[in-house]
Structure 1
Amino acid sequence: MRTQTGLTLIELLIAVSLMAVILTTAVPALGNFLEQQRLTAAANQLVGHLNYARYEAVFRNQPVAACPSSDGLSCSGGNRWDNGWIVYLDPERKGQPDGPKDILRVVEPQTSLLMHSAGRHRVRFQGHGGAYGTNLTIRVCAPDQPDMARAVIVSNPGRVRATRDVDPAECSPS
């Protein structure tokens, strides 16, 4: 006698039903997880470039700045960092790079995010590592999920850090 192995139709239906229930709960959670990781990666990228600007200012003992830039050659004058940004040498404190030779880094736009600072149009680090002016906060938001926002904070002594402590109402551009 031969014994047959396999699944009955009822066993197969139960397995498919369980798989459907698991997938309907896991897929939305995975989407939220991926969105959180995308925001965290963008905030960490900005932190990395600002720390690089600070390092270069200390290393060269001269001002180095970072500002929003849509063309990768000059500061746009706005506060929208999602259009891209540049890190550049600013020894004469002009607020713009003198030319392509002064540009240290160019970052491409983050088209699916909203990244903005309230009023400041640049971050400038001094030769001793401190930042000019007052503290600066750059918000990193997903337009459709403001409750997941991140913020990059540059303190007056030059410390750059990222935080999740952001009011969702601050995710609208000013």
Structure 2
Amino acid sequence: MNSKKNSKILGITLLIFIISACQYSSKKKINQDDIRDMLILNSAYSGRTVIQDSLLLTELNGNKTSIENLIKKGPTLFLRLTENNCNTCYEQEILRLEKLSELVGINKIALLVSFSKQKYVEIFARNYNIKFPIYNVKLSSFYYNKIEELNQPYLFVLDKSNVCENIFIPNSKYGSISQSFYDKIKRRLE
């Protein structure tokens, strides 16, 4: 009787193990597909998005400037987001940008946001303790950029060519991929 009971327990344990292994394998496949899709999406926009020289930006203090004035100093890494993006989509990126800014300097990194009111930008900067430059731009200024249709934060490097390069759409599930992106960009900004 005991051997029958032990066989049943062993059988159930084996069945649970097989089901768990199948679920893990399935989950791993989904993650690989997610990563593949993310890489394809990122490469689809790099080198194809152009920012106009005359794009008017509002600094945190309310002063106006053009994007041309920012990129005269060399390549700049921008995090682009809007007030419609989810917090978890950009919070980790802001922390990573803070660390990067300590290595390459705060003037080589900027946030390019679209908030309906300037006071929201000020509150955002204060809440996240942002030390690098933050600029507000009208959302309508970016309607021509296909990447905006994704309604997700993204990063890009802009230099005098006005072509968005190294476009990267971060995914909070894959922090190691984001870190690899920042390591690569650090070398470009130094």
TM-score (norm 2): 0.35
Which has the higher Rg, Structure 1 or Structure 2? Answer: 1
Q: Which has the higher strand share?
A: 1
TM-score (norm 1): 0.37
Larger RCO (CA within 8 A; separation ≥ 6): 2
Q: Which has the higher helix share?
A: 2
